Structure 1
């Protein structure tokens, strides 16, 4: 586990992942970080522009939000001497969202030396659960 001297901060992780330069999928989808540590990552995403033909939030967009949050949390956990690679994601879509922002909160299920797993809960503006996802990331050290 990284200590305070080897643990990257959110800005370092986002820069390494190239997030924030308008060229990544998470940027194109409007994902905006609210807070981030290895223990809790929170971000929002607009429904508008991320819908399927019926005008509802696309399930794949929920998965992108979930994978982004879990990947950032895993990178914060892994430290500067490692990269993290998503190896498995699953998602259950509980209800639709038609407008506004959805918020994703990622919390760890397991934080190991070679694997990190996060549960990501996505809610609408009324705090109703839209999606529950789980992401596992392989931690690859230099």
Structure 2
């Protein structure tokens, strides 16, 4: 399981955070910082029976991009991030091969973070928007 894209380097700490669900969806991380996180997933294999992009996959991209950015923020103080709120609005069916989600920080606090996320298709069209809020907590080592 890996978020890595061949030829691109990611922070070493990220390797322990790969979610089995993200792995199944083929999520890759392109950029990560507390202020901004960019992730992508292939359209193929993440569709409804009708062949359209699955709304749940949008939810995963929003949650992953925002939560990883929150984790980058929390780990600066030796802490962890857990999602507490997620919303996604679907705007249009995507075209192309890949969906790309970009999370941008709205709030980076001591106890919570909020990131707004835009999901674009290969044509650069806005297909979904979302928001994720995370709580910054002390890491429970036994849960890792």
Q: TM-score range by the shorter chain?
A: 0.7 to 0.9
TM-score by length of 2: 0.84
Residue 14 (structure 1) aligned with residue 14 (structure 2) = yes
The count of corresponding residues between Structure 1 and Structure 2 is: 130
Residue 77 (structure 1) aligned with residue 80 (structure 2) = no
The 5 Å alignment of 1:1-142 reads: 10-17=10-17, 19=18, 24-79=20-75, 81-141=78-138
User: Alpha-carbon deviations, 1:68-112, whole Å to 9, x = none?
Assistant: 111100010112521111011001000012541011000001100
RMSD: 1.7
SS in 1 for 2:49: coil
Unpaired runs of at least 5, structure 1: 1-9
SS in 2 for 1:74: helix
Q: CA deviation at 1:57?
A: 0.4
Higher relative contact order (CA 8 A, sep 6+): 1
Asked if the contact 2:25/2:42 (under 8 Å) is kept, the reply is yes
Unpaired runs of at least 5, structure 2: 1-9, 140-144
Q: Distance in 2 between matches of 1:114 and 1:13?
A: 21
SS in 2 for 1:16: helix
TM-score by length of 1: 0.85
SS in 2 for 1:52: coil
Moved more, 97-106 or 45-54: 97-106
